[in-house]
Chain A
Amino acid sequence: MTTKRAVDVVPGDRIRLASGRELSVTRIEHDFLGVDNLVCFVEDTQQCWFAHAVFVTDDVVTVSPAAPLDTQSHIR
């Protein structure tokens, strides 16, 4: 488990929220809701849809880093 800046999170990362809930990032929306520096991490899979918005300067707990690009084909 590591901590990184939100701006450094990439699709494929699995992050842990303060509540303990974990989110597998499949998509990142930048300038979210028209707000500079706000990003939204979205888990959009066949099992789950969940979104979490943070500022790019926030620290994010990463449970597992993104897999190498050639193994990310399961992420849509």
Chain B
Amino acid sequence: MGVYDLQVQTLDGGALDLAQFSGRAALVVNVASRCGLTPQYEALQRIHERFEPRGFSVIGVPCNQFGEQEPGSPEEIAAFCSGEYAVTFPLTAKLDVNGPNRHPLYQELTSTPDADGRSGDVQWNFEKFLVSPRGRVVGRFRPATEPESPEVLTAIEAALPATG
């Protein structure tokens, strides 16, 4: 089972078959609108635009399990993301990323350790998981790691599909 074998709901209630990202790298990030880390949206949008032509997408996953910092309705979340940060990358429905109702996507993602060898629960909003074009999780970056930090950019470059 890989990440791209799974399905999630989109923010507007439709189905998002992650198989559509097969052959592309993706950075899956649990997001929130009222977090001190929310300005990371700006850099996430930049890396989405920068690498999208080379086979990459950011996928945002709204989650309200951290400090109730994503309390809004789907419409409110969508309006915030487009209005404040001009987000164009896909957003899923609000999901649980930890605990008894953890979505299967995050069961797959959280089994991957970070650079310190720690797997398990997502720590806070804006934790980042890098998925290879074959749907394997190849990187995990904790919330305080900026989306445009050298370690994230280097990992994305390495995960992009081969050209030609």
* Interface residues in chain A, defined as those with a beta carbon under 8 Å from any beta carbon in chain B: 17, 19, 21, 32-34, 40, 44-53
B67 at interface by CB-CB < 8 Å: yes
Residue of A nearest to B123 (CB): A33
Is the pair B100, A51 in contact by a Cβ cutoff of 8 Å?
A: no
A46 to B98 CA separation, bound complex (whole angstroms): 11
Residue of B nearest to A35 (CB): B144
Is the pair A46, B124 in contact by a Cβ cutoff of 8 Å?
A: no
Contacts A44-B99, A46-B100 given; 12 further ones with Cβ under 8 A?
A: A17-B68, A33-B123, A33-B144, A34-B144, A44-B98, A48-B100, A49-B99, A49-B102, A51-B65, A51-B98, A52-B68, A53-B66
> Binding site of A, secondary structure by majority: helix, strand, loop or mixed?
mixed
B114 at interface by CB-CB < 8 Å: no
> Binding site of B, secondary structure by majority: helix, strand, loop or mixed?
loop
Is the pair B123, A47 in contact by a Cβ cutoff of 8 Å?
A: no
8 closest cross-chain pairs (CB), A and B: A49-B99, A49-B98, A33-B144, A51-B66, A52-B67, A50-B65, A19-B68, A46-B100
Q: Mark B122-163, 1 if CB is under 8 A from A, else 0.
A: 011000000000000000001110000000000000000000
B96 at interface by CB-CB < 8 Å: yes
28 of the cross-chain contacts (CB-CB < 8 Å) are A17-B68, A19-B68, A21-B68, A33-B123, A33-B124, A33-B142, A33-B143, A33-B144, A34-B144, A40-B124, A44-B98, A44-B99, A44-B121, A47-B100, A48-B99, A49-B99, A49-B100, A49-B102, A49-B121, A50-B65, A51-B65, A51-B67, A51-B98, A51-B124, A52-B68, A53-B66, A53-B67, A53-B124
